[in-house]
Chain A
Amino acid sequence: MNEAATVSPRIVPGEIAVNGVSKSYGAAHFRKEVVHDCSFTIERAKLTVMVGPSGCGKSTLIRLLAGFEQPTAGTVTLDGAPITGPDRDRLVLFQETALFPWMTTWDNILYGPRARGQLTKEALEFGEFLLVKVGLQDFRDKYPGQLSGGMQRRAELARAMINNPKVMILDEPFRGLDAMTKELMWEYYARLYEENRRTNFFVTTDIDEAVFLADRMLVMSNIPTQVRAVIEVDLPRPRKLIDIFESDRANDIKKQALSILHAEAMRSFSRGSKAAADFVEAYLKRASRA
């Protein structure tokens, strides 16, 4: 990656600490606590994957990390400094594409530098480099509506990376892609991370995705959201799909995470239903006997 060394600015990975964070919505009697006393660290220069049942408040946590919202209690800090609002040092890739539909791929990628009035020669060169990096050089003048789902995600990665953030936050970015594209995107994204070792925070509901990508895995509980377990994923890098699928270690990690997730999912599923609650109890008993 000699080329990268000449064009891309130096990456300064950050570290985010979440300390005793709670977040509630609604007023007085209708108050609902989505996140309760949640603490974890997004370690420097690591890929941390948060995996949890859908609707468990992961997206709320992301809004707090990005600075779109403020916690009701507790603190969120980046390298020790409290997060007060959105900033280019913490960029978010959303579930659905947030590329501006009225801009071409190239203008989308250049959005950040242009917005800050830093459209320098270096920025343009870095933009060109990223355009090639995400393989969209033939789609430079196309609009997002003309790109496939996978291309849109890659364009968005480039649009974020040109700002050289300290932390990249990805909120289920590959959801809605077809299975084939999704797996290609896993490999692509893993390679990207392995090349630059930026601090990445990746949120998903997909356990395979989590195991394949993660350095560290945070397994979440249901609402109110808390970290149930932290699993160190010590699989070798660079990672290839075929190696990971055949690895016993990967399977063990997957099983470990699944057992926690399964209990959580069943608990949320059974909420309010006696029959389901009985079923979960029986399931847990059988599991502990086995």
Chain B
Amino acid sequence: MKKMLSNPALWRGVVSIAVFLILWEIGARSKQWMAPEFFAPFRELLGAIDLKKDYLPWIGAVPAPSVVLASWIAVLVDRSYWQSWYMSLFRVMAGFLAAMLIGIPFGLMLAVSRVTHGIGFPVFEVLRPIPPLAWVPASIIFWPTQETAIAFITFLGAFYTIVINVLGGARSIDVRYFQAARSMGSSRWDIFRRVILPGTLPSIVVGSAVGMGITWEVVVAAEMISGGGSQIGGTRGGGLGFFIWNSYVGGSYEQIVIGMISIGIAGFISSGLLRWGGRYVTPWLKAR
């Protein structure tokens, strides 16, 4: 603990967040300390270039962190807020795990088998540029429930990244390792298990970390578009994406910010866990 407190990196992080919050607080309260005349010349300028006179991006329109915090404490006891967390987390995990379970073997197969690559890669490459969100309508039509539709879209978000990383990682293993393994009498299976698999592991970790980030982006957008599966029943929340959208529609601006920060925290925790797991399975990388 003492060691942690004397860690300059930790203090830099604390200062960074504190300064950010203070600037935000000051900016959000600018209505109170800034004369309205201050904006007059800007308004004139906007009028001159034919824009709506009162349209001006202004941080004063955003709730201050102190207000958000107060509202957050109120929300913390609200069951539907935690339901939103749970729903989003569940969808991310389902989509992400499915992407790993299918993506890693698929990527490895593309890398080691010329036949699989010849058959699988062209289709993969045509589908890959389609953004996951473009799949939303088709996916809602195809899948029986909204829930599976959203899980499928989150799956797509991570799947492509994981496959491409696994394929690239396996392909970039130095030929010397294969030559050495073959010379020492390794069978094909042995080479796969003891050279290709560990050689690809760092790329699997990187691909998963990037994929996890995309999964959060996708799940939130999918929840917003699809209405978060809220028709399932009022007691079940619609996920954090729907939480934000609902707050916007309901005019509760503090809750919009709460939803956003919640996603930030969720993404931070999940990528942190992934990094930790990644370090655990690739001990030779930290050992340098």
Contacts and interface: CB of A to CB of B under 8 A. Distances in A.
B287 A94 contact: no
Interface in B171-192: 174, 176-177, 179-187, 190
A143 B287 CA distance: 7
A92 B183 contact: yes
Nearest to B190: A115
Q: Which of A86, A102, A112 has the most CB of B within 10 A?
A: A102
Contact of A102 (B180, B184, B199): B199
Contact of B284 (A90, A112, A115, A143): A143
Interface residues of A, number: 27
Contacts of A101: 284
A142 B287 CA distance: 8
A102 to B, nearest CB: 4
B184 A68 contact: no
A91 B183 contact: yes
A68 B179 CA distance: 7
Contact of A116 (B185, B194, B282): B185
Contacts of A208: none
Contact of A98 (B176, B199, B284, B288): B176
Nearest to A115: B186
Given A66-B179, A86-B179, A100-B177, A112 B185 contact: yes
A86 B174 CA distance: 17
A43 to B, nearest CB: 22
Contacts of A100: 177, 180, 194-195, 198
Interface string A80-91: 000001111011
A86 B284 contact: no
Contact of A88 (B184, B190, B285): B184
B210 interface: no
B59 interface: no
B170 to A, nearest CB: 13
A102 B198 contact: yes
B282 A98 contact: no
A65 to B, nearest CB: 11
A115 B287 contact: no
A112 B198 contact: no
B179 A98 contact: yes
Interface in A234-271: none
Given A94-B176, A102-B198, A145 B288 contact: yes
B62 interface: no
A91 B201 CA distance: 27
A101 B183 CA distance: 18
Contacts of A90: 183
A87 B182 CA distance: 7
B187 A115 contact: yes
Nearest to B180: A98
A68 B181 CA distance: 12
Nearest to B288: A145
B13 interface: no
A126 to B, nearest CB: 14
Contacts of B187: 115
B283 interface: yes
Contact of A115 (B181, B201, B288): B181
Nearest to A89: B183
Contact of A146 (B180, B181, B288): B288
A225 interface: no
A66 B183 contact: yes
Nearest to B175: A68
B181 A143 contact: no
Contacts of B194: 100, 103, 111, 115
Given A115-B190, A143-B284, A145-B284, A98 B177 contact: yes
A222 interface: no
A119 to B, nearest CB: 12
A159 to B, nearest CB: 8
B287 A86 contact: no
B179 A88 contact: no
Contacts of B179: 66, 68, 86, 92, 94, 98
A98 to B, nearest CB: 4
B14 to A, nearest CB: 33
A100 to B, nearest CB: 6
A79 interface: no
19 contacts: A66-B183, A85-B182, A86-B183, A87-B185, A88-B183, A88-B185, A92-B180, A94-B180, A98-B177, A98-B180, A100-B180, A102-B201, A102-B282, A111-B180, A111-B194, A115-B187, A145-B284, A145-B285, A145-B288
Given A91-B184, A102-B284, 17 more contacts: A94-B179, A94-B180, A96-B176, A98-B174, A98-B176, A102-B198, A102-B201, A103-B198, A111-B180, A111-B194, A112-B184, A115-B181, A115-B186, A145-B284, A145-B287, A145-B288, A163-B185
Interface of B: 174, 176-177, 179-187, 190, 194-195, 198-199, 201, 282-285, 287-288
Please list the 6 inter-chain residue pairs (A to B) with the smallest Cβ-Cβ separation, ordered nearest first.
Answer: A112-B184, A102-B198, A143-B284, A98-B176, A115-B186, A86-B183
